[in-house]
Amino acid sequence: MQHDKVLILDFGSQYTQLIARRVRELNIYSEIHPFNKIPTNIEDYKAVILSGSPNSVRGEDALHPDLSEIRGKKPMLAVCYGAQYLAHFSGGEVAPSNTREYGRANLSFVQKGEPFFSNISEGSQVWMSHSDTIKALPKGGVLLASTTDVENAAYKIQGETTFAIQFHPEVYHSTDGKQLLENFLVTIAGINQDWTPDSFVEETVEAIQDKVGGDKVVLGLSGGVDSTVAAVLLNKAIGKNLYCIFVNNGLLRKNEFESVLKQYEGMGLNVKGVDASKRFLDALAGIEDPEKKRKAIGNAFIEVFDDEAHKLEDVKWLAQGTIYPDVIESVSATGGPSATIKSHHNVGGLPDFMKLKIVEPLRAIFKDEVRRVGATLGIDPELLGRHPFPGPGLGIRILGDITAEKVRMLQEVDAIFINGLKEWGLYDKVWQAGAMLLPVNSVGVMGDERTYEKCVALRAVESTDGMTADWVNLPYEFLQKTSNDIINKVKGVNRVVYDISSKPPATIEWE
């Protein structure tokens, strides 16, 4: 089935992925491409959206897209930088704003009877994020909406299906943003809303069968949502020709190896569990630098995975749980230093000596879509609701060198924290939680004795995609009980702290 597609041209905005996700929430398929790498098959797209950008259209580094095959030929929505670009280079005027236009604002004027603003009224809250402002509309520009501070908040161009806005409809703070996108894409551009989890499963299963045929496929499972959904999809397509390998790197959560293996077997997957804990801990002995630890873990995984893959005969394909953000992040919007391929945590990057072809069933979808697809496939909601867990596991939550004793200690601490969140009904309110074992000893008193033991930091954040995150305001009573339980039950720990840093400037993990 051919779906109507929307092309999003990326000018480097932090919100570009959010635009794509909002479009897909309308059950419309969208793709992100850099502004300077416009697809040659432009006729395949029913509409085009220009993203925002940290650049200024007035600067020497202004980003110039080639819109010759788009403007006036396709319905186009220009957001923020896009709106200013159309104004500045088409007879309008863009100038520095007297006040930085950032944050919440409300529409003070909306053009009556305009389909673009259907079901959106004056007073609607929008989110601004720009330091330039449009002083004069481009040639043929017709004003559609204003806020108190921004006269030209939205406009259209006569004789074209071109609309432009100086606010961000994709962010949560623009209360009618989704309605605006629906007005543009469905009412104006006439796009079919047929991109659903059900249709994705049906088409992906068919595509896997066409691509792989009767060949054998090997997949490294991590216990996480992405690799699990990928496994179930592949299993639906090729059944017993899928061979899953779940490696215990000795850095998983307490009892996770056994419990996840049991869960996978209950799902009818062909899984082999490999306990390589000692191999990983030996490879990590004495290493303190975080990047060197990641590399050691990645290399050990490749060796173990390769050993196991070689035991299988005639395997032709390697499956990976790559998702769409991994694909997008491998191509920089500006062709700058960030244009590097991201190595995927579930296989740690593919070495040259593994001569396998790649199959990535999830490479077209976002994390929230992976969960919806998983629900369509009937995967246990508890498994789909699991917090993200880093590929290197507890290896990057133990600061400094790693020993079996430190892993044991952190597993116990982590289990108390995570189980506590579940018991208090807090787990699903948190995007990711975990404990860090710090390379710090502090003085304490237990009974009548002086102790000099480890400190652990607890971390819980709320986020939608991990790109930004806020610390969660957990109840004091919960933190009090958790701290007492950890100190009383985990030998070697005498102090617990709670991390109240947001991302940015801090990262979610400590290493």
Residues known to be catalytic: 80, 168, 170
Instruction: Provide the 3-class DSSP secondary structure of residue 169.
Output: coil
The alpha carbon of 281 is separated from its chain's Cα centroid by a whole number of angstroms, namely: 30
> Pseudo-torsion of CA 161, 166, 169, 171, nearest 10°?
150
Two tokens at 338? 């960030």
- β-partners of residue 359 are 319
DSSP symbol at 185: I
DSSP per-residue letters across 311-349: HSSSEEEEE----HHHHHHTS-TTSSTT-SPPPPTTTTS
> 3-state class of 110 per DSSP?
strand
Contact 1, 203 (CB under 8 A): yes
Backbone angles phi, psi at 284, to 5 degrees: -95, -5
The 3-class secondary structure across 23-75, one letter per residue, is HHHCCCEEEEEECCCCCCCHHHEEEEEECCCCCCCCCCCCCCCCCCCCECCEC
User: What CA dihedral angle connects 191, 197, 202 and 206, to 10 degrees?
Assistant: 90
Identity of the residue numbered 156: K
- Closest of 216, 491, 233 to residue 357, by C-alpha: 216
Residue pair 454/409 in contact by the 8 Å Cβ criterion = yes
Cα separation of 419 and 482, whole Å?
10
In whole angstroms, what is the distance from residue 460 CA to residue 482 CA? Answer: 13
Diameter of the chain measured on Cα atoms: 85
Query: Going by C-beta distance under 8 Å and a sequence separation of 6 or more, which residues neighbour residue 443?
Result: 450, 451, 452
Instruction: Please state, in angstroms and rounded to a whole number, the distance separating the CA atoms of residues 14 and 29.
Output: 20
Q: What is the DSSP string of 384-432?
A: HTPPP--TTGGGGTB-S---HHHHHHHHHHHHHHHHHHHHTT-GGG-SE
Helices 277-284 & 290-311 angle (0-180, nearest 10):
150
Neighbours of 450 (CB within 10 A): 9
Could you tell me the CA-to-CA distances from 393 to 224, 226, 297, 409, 461 in Å, in that order?
A: 11, 16, 9, 14, 17
